[in-house]
Structure 1
């Protein structure tokens, strides 16, 4: 096959169909009509002498040939992106780019103050937008499509085609009112089970989860939960004005406790493994200078956070 006779835009169509498993959705992604995508697919089939995608009940299923091609095409498109980017290098002082970060409200609370503080002088016209409340599958699609730049949070590793860096570990502690009848810094199992609890369960796809031994998991199930909330906003007011215990990551607890004199932190009566906070992005944008600038500053902002509580 002579590269001089190949329309390189066909590879964009190939990747879009592979990602979406739909001719219609691929057209929406590329801002092309369905007939234009179908015509491009026909040309690809003629070039490779293979159906490439077979229509099935679940969508356009790739053939073994398509599975072999996708990594090579992704790598080639990434190189083209890097080549174009070299001619249009990201200049933080001049850019008015809007970076979109998928995170939870905890991630926003911990990350954004430091990120804004560190970048305003370097990039006065740069804008940031945080978004969340979607599944890991949605996050993968949005990263691949370039509709979000990075994901920050307790999401599992997204796997093939994605890159990640570990930002930090965090432990779980108990946040409670300073006037609570429990005054010890280390809760006993009896105190923990007899108390009333507030349970924070984020609605986003990266809600932090307990990783505990089975015996401790049994204790969590036996808690007397009075209130379940999907939002971190207002947690400090609820805990400070009630007798509820709130079990949350230590950095969030510290941030809330430092803002109010009526809160304090206590240790759990059982062992909990630390949660891992990751920065993730799609390999398509690994060489994008703007995305790389963002990742560097996100990592720097997390490096300035206080250490997790023991």
Structure 2
């Protein structure tokens, strides 16, 4: 197959269709008509003698041939994009781009208000969409183009992704004001004698606090397990449950805060993105904005 006989614009449509899975979204994203997308797909099918995409319940599903092509196509498009745009500057004040960011509600509560203000000042037409996804799905979404960025613990080591340190979040114990234990330092004995609330997206399994307790030969009684940090804050405020949580969030809840009676390793967060966009000016701008906002939030909410 001679490359000079192939319209390279077809690969732009191919990559967009692989990412979006719907002709209407591709047409809107590329600012072309739906018939233009369909015509490009027809020409691609003729070129590769394969359907490439077939209709399914979730939209256009790639065939094995398309799956085999996507990595090389993306790398080629990225190289072309970097070559063409090497000297072009991303202009956030004019951009209408949407950035898709995966993180839990803890991250949303900590940085979205400040991040939204920065976007309003620097890039009023840029849109930010956040999604609460578990680690495995978030990693796959980054690889497939479903997410632009992901905030998570430093447990992802995929070759296709780059990462940067984002934050170190030490733990404290919170409880309602007026709680019987809300007076002076909290002993380990009192901590273990209380009922606890724990936040986790998993049905079972130990958190960092429980791992630290296990190392001491101890365990706490978790009487309630929830998936949402803000729900946990509301329940803690209306009950006698203790909630061990990163201080950065605790400072925003209005709850009584005391030091943990044992040494708990802090929660570390990294920022992840596809290696293919590491040098992309828009991605770099958003990454710097997120890291800057986290640094500001940490300095404001965490004591020296």
Q: How does the TM-score come out when normalised to structure 2?
A: 0.73
Give 1:168 deviation, angstroms: 0.9
Distance 1:74 1:127, change over 3 A: closer
Q: Is the 8 A contact 2:173 2:260 kept in 1?
A: yes
Could you tell me which residue of structure 2 aligns to residue 174 of structure 1?
Answer: 173
1:210 aligned partner: 208
Counting matched residue pairs gives 275
Aligned to 2:274: 282
RMSD of aligned residue pairs (Cα, Å): 4.0
Partner of 2:115 in structure 1?
Answer: 115
- Is the aligned partner of 1:189 residue 2:181? no
Maintained 8 Å contact 1:185/1:265? no
**Distance across 2 between alignment mates of 1:214 and 1:200:** 17
Report the CA distance between 1:186 and its aligned residue.
3.5
Cα distance, 1:139–1:78 mapped onto 2, change above 3 Å = same
Cα 1:180–1:107 change in 2 (3 A) is: same
Does the residue aligned with 1:246 lie in a helix, a strand or coil?
strand
Residue 298 of structure 1 corresponds to which residue in structure 2? 290
Residues 140 and 224 (structure 1), Cα distance of their counterparts in 2 relative to 1, 3 Å cut = closer
Alpha-carbon distance between aligned partners in 2 of 1:142 and 1:252, rounded to the nearest angstrom: 27
Decide whether the 8 Å contact of 1:144 with 1:284 is kept in 2.
no
Question: Which SS does the other structure have where 2:298 is aligned?
Answer: coil
Change (3 A) 1:202 1:255: farther
Report whether the alignment pairs 1:200 with 2:199.
yes
Deviates more, 1:102-111 or 1:209-218: 209-218
Q: Displacement of 1:34 after TM fit?
A: 9.5
Unaligned runs of 5+ in 1: 44-58
For structure 2, the residue ranges without an aligned partner over 5 or more in a row are 27-36, 51-62
Contact 1:197–1:246 under 8 Å retained in 2: yes
TM norm structure 1: 0.71
Q: Aligned partners of 1:104 and 1:92: how far apart in 2? A: 26
1:199 and 1:309, CA in 2 relative to 1: closer, same or farther beyond 3 A?
Answer: farther
Give the conservation status (yes or no) of the 8 Å contact 2:100–2:147.
yes
